Structure 1
């Protein structure tokens, strides 16, 4: 396993993937090694060093790893690689990849946020200002506007996935603008978003893993991405002799790939009627009555998105 730059201990994406590795160890007796590059600039060399060691499969965990892995995969055509939760395009003939339909999970927590806010303003704190993070925002925005067309949705990016202090600073800035619920989509930076919620007596929404426990009563819910299952499934396929590179598998609501986490740590924070409405929304998503827009499908200047159609945010509609 090669982590993103935030490494193990992020209480988010990397830790979830490691859980999948542990399950594979228990179920198949798989041994695994975790390699933790400290920066995106180290990705290619880390992947190349791993490829030279002859692992059965090398699984990466970052959107920023696509090009580095593509380069190494070309140099090591007989090596099997996996890349968890990236884009819709196949990476290479010897790289299996996955896409989490995080826009569906973000839609659910956006709806919850808009139904729960007391100020009529909610926020989004992303890590890097990159397409895969915009994918979360679009789903969140669509869900919020479906719940309440008049809700104000603020958008902010810290520039880092490993800066909790920056996450706190950016979140408090949104709170000062009236946002009382802020969705953290920022890797290890998200801890600062949650800390800010606790300090300001507002709510945060966690991401990737279930982060409700990090500040009971201050985390409204978490948008869980089952990247543990995605990593595990790659190893399971390898063990069964059915691993296939050049394929992209999707994990959405139908595949139990995303969820709005509910447990003892956020019990009572979301009104029962809202939870009932969310169950109804899930059924409509599964039937196709609702289709949440995927940022990667949107074009600059596009005025409407999703099914039922609604106006795109200004960042899309006004783009040239």
Structure 2
């Protein structure tokens, strides 16, 4: 069963007491430390919980979810969990890299997992979903679907890991239509849906009729703005098509549920890959775009066929989507086949 622990004054000694009293000693005990957007974000954190629920059902593990109050509490939350002797502690956020590295070195016998960022520490297995590949596919679909010739991107914070999504989205869009205009915006928050809605309405007023939300819990506001402005949104991390049927073109699914399950299973199978960074792309089933009854008819059959062919070429290695972190400073083009690097990326580099 899910045990939710809010770090507002709750010591993790209590967590150990709860877990210890409820779990047989032969069961694997897992702790998850949630990222900034928190449980209930209908996105990244909730997908990790889906993976934990699957591990509970299929592997018989017991898990605890810890929600720090703020990023500044990450290290303390991880350290308290480590002191309780969980079989695996999972962190999920690029913001968790420095605190997790510090705690992992302080507890060398504790197994840790990190999702969404790489770290080569002996007792940490980390995994990165190739979100740039999934973003390229939804960018391709957006460019083929737009009626105005303008599509938008609403990121959370203006930081490199979110630029990674934008680089892929831009690349896919330009592969579909070199003349499409891609508007780039950052809301400055992963936790405020109202701000996401404001940015979407502003983009709609500029003529952008499809906007990709990469902003944690803020993304639900982007989707709400699409409904209000009668435009289309693209969801992220989980399948968010259901949030506004008929107004979510598709969702770029980041299968952190699969990654989470695999990490837990590796501990149970004595196959923990500490010190390794695992990559989950389109080929590995780590990312994809969502199709269901909620976006039926929004993507034309010929566009869907083209997008699937585009995806297949990425899987085959015929197309190489650029990873923001691999783009050389000042590069005038990116990807293979190349497209011109957008000024925001070239200048930032």
TM-score by length of 1: 0.98
The alignment of Structure 1 onto Structure 2 pairs a total of residues equal to 318
The secondary structure found in structure 1 opposite 2:152 is: strand
Q: Give the corresponding residue for 1:122.
A: 151
**CA contact 1:70–1:91 (8 Å) conserved in 2:** no
Equivalent residue in structure 1 for 2:89, among 45, 58, 61: 58
The secondary structure found in structure 1 opposite 2:54 is: helix
Matches of 2:334 and 2:67 in 1, distance apart?
38
Q: Which has the larger radius of gyration?
A: 2
The secondary structure found in structure 1 opposite 2:151 is: strand
- 1:237 correspondence with 2:263: no
**CA contact 1:8–1:14 (8 Å) conserved in 2:** yes
Q: Give the corresponding residue for 2:72.
A: 41
Q: Give the corresponding residue for 2:121.
A: 92
Per-residue CA deviation, residues 97-155 of structure 1 (Å, 9 max, x unaligned), is: 00100011000000000011111100000011111111100000000011111111011
Q: For 1:12-31, what aligned pairs fall within 5 Å after superposition?
A: 12-31=43-62
Q: Give the corresponding residue for 2:225.
A: 196
Q: Give the corresponding residue for 1:264.
A: 293
- 1:227 correspondence with 2:256: yes
In structure 2, the CA distance between the partners of 1:316 and 1:5, relative to structure 1 (3 Å rule), is: closer
Q: For 1:1-320, what aligned pairs fall within 5 Å after superposition?
A: 1-87=32-118, 90-319=119-348
Further displaced range: 35-44 or 219-228: 35-44
Matches of 2:132 and 2:275 in 1, distance apart?
23
In structure 2, the CA distance between the partners of 1:283 and 1:124, relative to structure 1 (3 Å rule), is: same
Post-superposition offset of 1:245 = 1.0
Matches of 1:111 and 1:238 in 2, distance apart?
38
Matches of 2:95 and 2:348 in 1, distance apart?
24
Matches of 1:270 and 1:63 in 2, distance apart?
33
Post-superposition offset of 1:288 = 1.2
Where does structure 2 lack aligned partners over 5 or more consecutive residues? Answer: 1-31
Post-superposition offset of 1:7 = 1.1
The secondary structure found in structure 2 opposite 1:122 is: strand
The secondary structure found in structure 2 opposite 1:79 is: coil
Matches of 1:289 and 1:172 in 2, distance apart?
37
**CA contact 1:6–1:38 (8 Å) conserved in 2:** no
Matches of 1:166 and 1:113 in 2, distance apart?
23
**CA contact 1:123–1:179 (8 Å) conserved in 2:** yes
TM superposition outliers: structure 1 runs of 4+ over 2 Å? 316-320
CA RMSD, 1 decimal: 0.9
The secondary structure found in structure 1 opposite 2:224 is: helix
Per-residue CA deviation, residues 241-290 of structure 1 (Å, 9 max, x unaligned), is: 11121101110010011111000000000000000101111221122111
**CA contact 1:299–1:316 (8 Å) conserved in 2:** no
Where does structure 1 lack aligned partners over 5 or more consecutive residues? Answer: none
